Chains A and B, each alone.
Chain A
Amino acid sequence: MSRELTYAEAIREAIDLAMARDERVFVVGEDVGVYGGAFGVTDGLFQKYGAERVRDTPISEAGIAGVATGAALTGMRPIAEIQFMDFITLSMEQLVLQAAKLRFMLGGKVQVPLVVRTPAGAGTGAAAQHSESLENWFVHVPGLKVVMPSTPADAKGLLLASIEDPNPVIFVEHKLLYRTKGVVPEGDYITPLSQSEVKRSGRDLTIVATSLMVVRALEAAVRLAEEGIEVEVVDPRTLKPLDAEPIVRSVCKTGRVLIVHEACKTGGFGGELAAVIAESEAFDYLDAPIRRLAGLDIPVPYNRELERRMTPQVDDIVAAARRLVREAR
């Protein structure tokens, strides 16, 4: 059975299922308890599982990451919440130097099965320190997995998979997606990590998009279809380790690719995707340059219009796609 859930509800359902079936799973973070999380994602879990397993912490992002790492190292399955992805900068040492590397440094003799859930993204008027998309920093770290779901169903399945995964996973949610609705299967299921998905099929152009941009790309695809441009939208879902094959296959088919993400363009995941495509057999099928549409290289501005312009909108995707297809015809 399936029914419509919001993205936030789907995440909550995943946590609930995991906690119900596995005593080792617990939630730890700032205001995750009685408050229900800054975005209400953990709402109700405190009442159901109590203060021990839905654990409020002091404002201690390094401490939260350390608690999650230490607990994961010794048999628990923590789900840490970093309230805004911006704040994860304060957790970097424990995540990047400890959680990511411990297994390797210790000769493969330990596991660090932790999940860090964190909301990213602009569009809420929260300005430069509460709107960042920092996923690619983590993509660069061997030992970490980076997951970015775009739909409620994926959010649930991918979170359940992340909790089951024996490695540290950075699970990047998007604030603007929390209220989006979608059909979500009931019960326990996983959406495997490292499995890119073709969200819409088309022959003229491949758009590889992440997180909120998948939703916008799909919207753009509908409009482009009215103009006779058939867009294929591929969602990597797991940025690392990346499942490149469906992306490469799609580009081989369409010969053109537009990469869309919200994070700043320079040093963003789009560069990695572009390189993966250029290095692959898809190179020989490229009939136009690989193009990226991404956030401007600026901190996220407060002003509504400036903030809107900073990140790719549906119109921008339509225009970029149209340009790419036209110039390649």
Chain B
Amino acid sequence: MDDQFADLPPARLQDLLHQMMLIRAFEEAAEQLYLQGMIHGTMHLSIGQEGAAVGACAALRPTDYILSTHRGHGHCIAKGARVDQMMAEFFGKETGYCRGRGGSMHIADVSTGNLGANGIVAGGVPMVAGVGLSIQMQRQDRVALVFFGDGAANEGAFHESLNMAAIWSLPVVYFCENNQYAMSMAIARASKIERLSDRACAYGIPGVTVDGNDPLAVYRATREAVERARSGGGPTLIEARTYRWKGHSKSDKQRYRTKEEVKQWQERDPIARLAQQMIEASILTEGDLATLQARVEQEIIDAIEFAKVSPEPDPATILEGVYA
């Protein structure tokens, strides 16, 4: 490819790098806070998958929609959410995005087009057809992108949704983050085909597989799919191959994979990769990188502080939000 930076100006590239770093720092902090008992419940970390989230969202406009997954912190940040309100949500505070009612698994920032993380594997997949239909019927200049994992691709609802979006040419992008495991089930054991994007042909739509740890490759593929959707060309199935460095959730002993395998993937760190590319192209210095890192750390410190000082939900409001 001639333009290795996909037509993105240096400032945008730095934004993407910043976002990836912010996602990682946020999740690392969240994990620490979880281990310290400051955050309860569970959480699903996407560390290692930042390239997919950031690459995909970079191709969307603020007015476009995403539907996210249980591993959705990265999507949320990449779509433009504030980490302080996210952290407040993790703390269960009233100032959190979901007023402390949703937590990590339902994190959403509707104002930036994020219609929500989802606790159900493939939970957002049927809905995206409805969002796409809504855009189409309202003649809006929007696109809906649904994130889902390799596990979700084997849910029945996946089929119904892709089929409907295809027959109606809905402005939808199906973005599969193939992180190799559905909890413990390796994709090779769960699917006979090698490329999940091959499934697109069953619906008569384009399918593409990209390196999910290359944010620019992800960006290019998504940009193409989004343009197709926006111009009435219907949905696309993207498979972004990536890897989660951490366990499925906080209770995962990771018996199903080797440390060597994890290490191999860690050597393909999407953040290091983009930083390296940019340094080599002289659009980023080591100093810039250190500055970025310091900025990210401060953002997380501020976010935690905001979360800590925020008020708890008033128990008197417990019934709110069940009905409109």
Contact = CB atoms under 8 A, between A and B. Distances in A.
A183 interface: no
B321 A103 contact: yes
Contact of A66 (B98, B127, B323): B127
A69 B115 CA distance: 12
Q: Which of A68, A109, A143 has the most CB of B within 10 A?
A: A109
Given A68-B130, A106-B108, A108-B99, A97 B120 contact: yes
Contacts of A52: 137
B149 interface: no
A241 B319 CA distance: 13
Interface stretch (B153-161, B220-228, B286-294): B153-161
B116 A58 contact: no
Contacts of B156: 62
B102 interface: yes
B65 A103 contact: no
B63 to A, nearest CB: 11
Interface in A150-191: 166-167
Interface stretch (A71-79, A226-234, A279-287): A71-79
B130 A58 contact: no
Interface residues of A, number: 43
B39 to A, nearest CB: 17
Nearest to A91: B126
Instruction: Kindly state the interface size class of chain B when it binds its partner.
Output: 35 or more
B11 interface: no
A269 interface: no
Given A66-B130, A74-B65, A107-B96, A166 B108 contact: no
B97 interface: yes
A63 B157 contact: yes
Contact of B123 (A68, A93, A111): A93
Interface in A253-276: none
Contacts of B126: 62-63, 65-67, 69-70, 94
Q: Which of A52, A60, A65 has the most CB of B within 10 A?
A: A60
A57 B164 contact: yes
Interface in A84-133: 93-94, 97-98, 102-111, 113
A67 B99 CA distance: 27
B78 interface: no
B324 A26 contact: no
Q: Which of A98, A113, A241 has the most CB of B within 10 A?
A: A98
B129 A67 contact: yes
Contact of A62 (B96, B115, B116, B157): B157
Nearest to A100: B322
Q: Which of B108, B127, B130, B320 has the most CB of A within 10 A?
A: B130
B314 to A, nearest CB: 13
A299 interface: no
Contact of B163 (A53, A58, A73): A58
A24 B102 CA distance: 29
B134 interface: yes
A46 B116 CA distance: 34
Nearest to A109: B110
B135 interface: yes
Given A52-B137, A106-B110, A74 B163 contact: no
Contact of A73 (B131, B320, B321, B323): B131
A74 B100 CA distance: 23
A70 B123 contact: no
Interface string B284-324: 00000000000000000000000000000000000011111
Interface string A309-327: 0000000000000000000
A142 interface: yes
Contacts of A108: 99, 101, 320-321, 324
16 contacts: A58-B163, A66-B125, A66-B128, A66-B157, A66-B160, A69-B130, A73-B130, A74-B115, A97-B123, A98-B123, A105-B98, A105-B116, A106-B97, A106-B98, A166-B324, A241-B323
Interface of B: 65, 67, 96-102, 106, 108, 110, 115-116, 118-120, 123, 125-135, 137-138, 144, 156-157, 160-161, 163-164, 167, 320-324
Interface of A: 24, 26, 52-53, 57-58, 60, 62-63, 65-76, 78, 93-94, 97-98, 102-111, 113, 142-143, 145, 166-167, 241
Given A62-B126, A66-B127, 10 more contacts: A63-B160, A66-B126, A70-B126, A70-B130, A73-B134, A78-B130, A97-B119, A105-B101, A107-B321, A109-B97
